[in-house]
Amino acid sequence: MLAWRRIKPVLIACLIVSLLMLTTWKASYLLLLGRLLIGGGLLLLVFGVLEHSPRRLPKFLARWVLQVLRVAFLVPVAFALTYALTTYGDPQYWWLNASRMNGFRMMVGVGVLVAPRMAISALLTQISGEAQHQALAFALERSELERQALAARMGLLQAQVEPHFLFNKLANVRELVDAQSPQASKVLASLIGYMRAAVPRLHDPTSTVQQEMELVRAYLDVMHMRMSDRLQFLLHADDAVRMLDCPAMTLLTLVENAVRHGIDPSEEGGRIEVRVQLSNGRCHAQVIDTGVEFRQTTAGLGTGLNNLCERLQLAFGGDAQLQLIQLEPHGVCAEAEFPARPTAA
C-alpha cells in the first residue's frame, strides 16, 4: 500500500509543485513543501486504503474509475486537514486568513489537476506489473508442463530400450543352448552377473561416460565368451570425459548394434573399437567395427538407433548428432556427438 514505488512519484510531484508555487508563496519554503507532502501523503494513504473497497461494484462502474474519482474529490479534504494540522494552536482559524485561503486554493487547484493523473499512472503501472507477473507465471507453468512431458517421453523411450536389449541377450543365450555349446552355462552365468549390475541403471535417464564404458566392457566380455575367436575389442575414454553426463544406454546401444549387424553376420568376425573424446566443448563418441556393412532398412536406422537418436535430441534439446559412416573395405563407424555437460554433484 505504501511501497516505495508509490511514495517516490508523490515526493517528486510535491517537490516540483513546490518550486512552481514558490514565486507566489509568501511564507517559508519549508512550510510550503511540508504542506504539500502532508496533503500528498494523505491522498496516497486514502488511495491505498480504499483500493479494494468495496469488494463488489456494479457492472457499469470500473474500479479504476472509482479510485480516480475518489482521489479527485478528496483533494480538498486532504489539504483542509493539512492546513488544520499545520495551524493547530493559532488563535485564528486558517480559513479566516486570506493569505492561507489563497494558499489552500492554489494547492487544491494543483492537486485536482495532478492527483488524478498520478492515480491513473499508478493504476496503469500496477496493471502492467500484474500482467507481467501473470505472464511470468504462465511461462513458468508452461515450462514445467513441457519438462514433465519431456520426462514422460524420455521414460517411454527408456522403457522401449529395456525389452529390446534384454530380449537380444536372451536370444544369444538360446542360440548357445540350442547348439548344445559347452559355453552356454558359462555365458549364462556371466550374463546374469552383468544383468545384476546393468538392469538398475536402465531406469536412470542419465549416466556418466565412465558408467557407460563399464557396461560396454561387461557386455563385450559376455559377447567375447560366445564368439571368442571372432570378436576382439578395444575401449578408450579420455580422462576429461569420464565424469560427463551421457544418456543411459547410449554407448551400449551403439556397441550392441555393431555386434548384431556388423560382427555377428560376418564369417570372419571382426574388431570393435569404442573411443570417447572431448573436443571444443563437445563429447565425441565413436564405435567402429570391421564387420559387414550396415544395410539401412525401410524404417531408417532401425529400432535401437532411431530410439537412441530421439533420446539424444530430447536430452540435449536438439543439440546432438548421430550418424553412421561406411568404412573401406568394410565396416561401419557410428558417431554420436553432444554437448560436454558435467554430471550433477
Give the pLDDT confidence of 79-111 residue by residue, as tens digits. Answer: 999 999 888 888 888 888 888 898 889 888 888
Q: Give the whole-angstrom CA distance, residue 258 versus residue 231.
A: 11
Q: Give CATH for domain 181-339.
A: 3.30.565.10
- 1 pLDDT above the threshold of 90: no
Question: Which of the four pLDDT bands, split at 50, 70 and 90, describes residue 283?
Answer: very high
Q: Give the whole-angstrom CA distance, residue 274 versus residue 209.
A: 12
Which residues, listed in sequence order, are joined to residue 244 by a DSSP beta bridge?
342
Percentage of residues in the chain with pLDDT exceeding 90?
Answer: 18
Phi/psi region, residue 341 (left: phi>0; alpha: psi -120 to 50; beta: rest), is beta
- 309 pLDDT above the threshold of 80: yes
Mean pLDDT along residues 249-264: 88
CB contact set of 210 (below 8 Å; sequence gap of 6+): 237, 242, 243
Q: Give the least confident one: 34-43, 74-83, 176-185, 292-301.
A: 292-301
pLDDT of residue 298: 47
Residue 26 cell numbers, joined: 509568501
Query: Under a CB-based contact definition with an 8 Å cutoff, are residues 332 and 324 in contact?
Result: yes
CA angle 337-143-204, nearest 5°?
A: 50
pLDDT of residue 70: 80
Question: Which of the four pLDDT bands, split at 50, 70 and 90, describes residue 219?
Answer: confident
Residue 183: phi and psi, rounded to 5, are: -85, -10
Classify the C-alpha dihedral 327-215-173-170 as positive or negative.
negative
- 148 pLDDT above the threshold of 70: no
Q: Among candidates 1, 87, 4, which has minimal Cα distance to 38?
A: 87
Query: Under a CB-based contact definition with an 8 Å cutoff, are residues 175 and 264 in contact?
Result: no
CA distances from 120 to 5, 9, 47, 52, 77 (A): 14, 12, 11, 15, 20
Which residues, listed in sequence order, are joined to residue 272 by a DSSP beta bridge?
233, 289
Q: Give the whole-angstrom CA distance, residue 29 versus residue 103.
A: 12
Q: Give the whole-angstrom CA distance, residue 302 versus residue 306.
A: 6
Residues in the chain, total: 345
Q: Give the whole-angstrom CA distance, residue 200 versus residue 221.
A: 19
The domains of the chain are located at 4-139, 181-339
Question: Which of the four pLDDT bands, split at 50, 70 and 90, describes residue 332?
Answer: very high
Helix segments in the chain, DSSP class H: 4-21, 29-49, 63-86, 98-178, 184-202, 209-226, 250-258, 303-315
Q: Among candidates 151, 170, 324, which has minimal Cα distance to 247?
A: 151
Query: Under a CB-based contact definition with an 8 Å cutoff, are residues 246 and 208 in contact?
Result: yes
Within 10 A of 206 (CB to CB), how many other CB atoms are there?
Answer: 15
Single-letter code of the amino acid located at 254:
L
Q: Give the least confident one: 15-24, 57-66, 82-91, 161-170.
A: 161-170
Q: Give the whole-angstrom CA distance, residue 63 versus residue 262.
A: 75
Q: Give the whole-angstrom CA distance, residue 343 versus residue 315.
A: 13
